[in-house]
Amino acid sequence: MPIQLIEPRRLYLQIADQLRSLITAGEFPPGTRLPAERELAKRFGVSRPSLREALIALEVEGYVDVRPGSGIMVTTPNSAAPDCSADEGPLEVLRARSLIEGAIAAETAREMKPKDVAALDQILSAMGGEAANPQDRMAADRQFHRYIAAKLANKPILRLVTGLFDQGYSPMARQFAIHFDNAKTWAAVLAEHRKIVAALAARDPERARKAMRDHLRKVHSRWAQNIDSGAKASLNDSRRQLLINSDAPAPLA
C-alpha cells in the first residue's frame, strides 16, 4: 500500500475530538454542564467561531445539547446520530463562498442586461413574498446565487457554486440554522440580496464584489454569534421539521 500524504485536520474537528474524549472518559458526565464557551475557547487556545463549530458538531452527534442563553449540557449520544467528521464546517464553507462568489459577482456585473436584473428581482419577490413558506424562500435563495454564477456560462464554476451552496443540506448546517436563523435574519438576507442586485444593475464590478462578500460575511457573522448569550431562534413546527428533513437545505445566503 503506497504511503499517502498526511493532511492536517480541520481545527473544529480537533476540538470536537478532544471534547468527545473528555465526555466519554467521564470528565463531563451526562447531565452536567460544560464550561462556558468563552472559558472553553481560552482553554483550547482557539477562536470562538472554531469552538462553536465543534460544539454544533457534537450536538449533531448527540454528545451535547446547546442551549443558547442557558449553557451546553452533556447528553448521552445516540448510536444512530450522524458522524460530522466528513463535513466541512458551515462557517468554513461561508468563508470560501465569500471569496469565490465575490469574484463571480464582479465578473457577472460586466455581463448584466436589463432582463437579468428583472429575473433577479422576480426571484427576490418570491423570497420576500408574504405567502412564501420557508422551503420556497430557500429555493429562491439557491436560485438567486445560481443565476448569478450561470451568467458566466462556465459549467465548472456553476457546479462549484451549487456544490458549496448545497452543503447547507448537511446536518451541521441545519443545526446552525435551527439555532441562529429566524424571520429577522431572512429580512436581512433579502435586504443584502437587493444590494447585490443594485450593484449588478449598475454594472459596477467592484461594488458587486463588495456587496456579495459583505452579504456572505454577514451570514457568517450571524451564524458565529455567541451561543452563551444568543437566543435560540423561535421556529414554528413546520420550519423546524423542514430543517430536520434531510431533503431540505438550510442556509440563509
Q: According to the model, what pLDDT value does residue 214 have?
A: 98
User: 117 and 216 share a domain?
Assistant: yes
Q: According to the model, what pLDDT value does residue 238 have?
A: 40
User: 124 and 208 share a domain?
Assistant: yes
Dist. CA 72–CA 65, nearest whole Å: 6
Q: According to the model, what pLDDT value does residue 165 have?
A: 93
Dist. CA 6–CA 163, nearest whole Å: 25
Q: According to the model, what pLDDT value does residue 209 have?
A: 98
Domain CATH number, residue 167:
1.20.120.530
Q: According to the model, what pLDDT value does residue 250 have?
A: 55
User: 74 and 141 share a domain?
Assistant: no
Q: Where among 84, 109, 128 does a domain terminate?
A: 84
Residue 23: domain span: 11-84
Q: Tell me the pLDDT of the chain (253 aa) as tens digits.
A: 454 444 456 788 888 999 999 999 999 999 999 998 889 989 889 888 888 889 989 999 999 998 767 789 999 887 767 777 766 788 889 999 999 999 999 999 999 999 999 999 999 998 887 656 777 888 899 999 999 999 999 999 999 999 999 987 788 888 888 877 788 888 999 999 999 999 999 999 999 999 999 999 999 888 877 555 444 443 443 444 444 444 444 555 6
Neighbours of 246 (CB within 10 A): 9
C-alpha neighbours within 13 Å on the C-beta side of residue 29:
0
C-alpha neighbours within 13 Å on the C-beta side of residue 118:
3
Residue 246 domain-assigned (yes or no): no
Q: What is the DSSP letter of 17?
A: H
Residue 232 domain-assigned (yes or no): no
Into how many domains does the chain fold?
Answer: 2
Residue 32 domain-assigned (yes or no): yes
3-state secondary structure of 65: strand
Neighbours of 153 (CB within 10 A): 9
* Cα 47 to chain centroid, rounded: 17
Q: What are the φ/ψ torsions at residue 236 (nearest 5 degrees)?
A: -75, 170
Question: Quick one: which of 31, 24, 26, 38 has its CA closest to 74?
Answer: 31
Long-range contact pairs involving 64-69 (C-beta distance under 8 Å, separation at least 24): 64/19, 64/23, 64/34, 66/179, 66/227, 67/232, 68/179, 68/227, 68/228, 68/229, 68/230, 68/231, 68/232, 69/228, 69/229, 69/230, 69/231, 69/232
Domain CATH number, residue 67:
1.10.10.10
User: 58 and 169 share a domain?
Assistant: no
3-state secondary structure of 128: helix
Residue 248 domain-assigned (yes or no): no
Long-range contact pairs involving 2-10 (C-beta distance under 8 Å, separation at least 24): 10/88, 10/89, 10/92
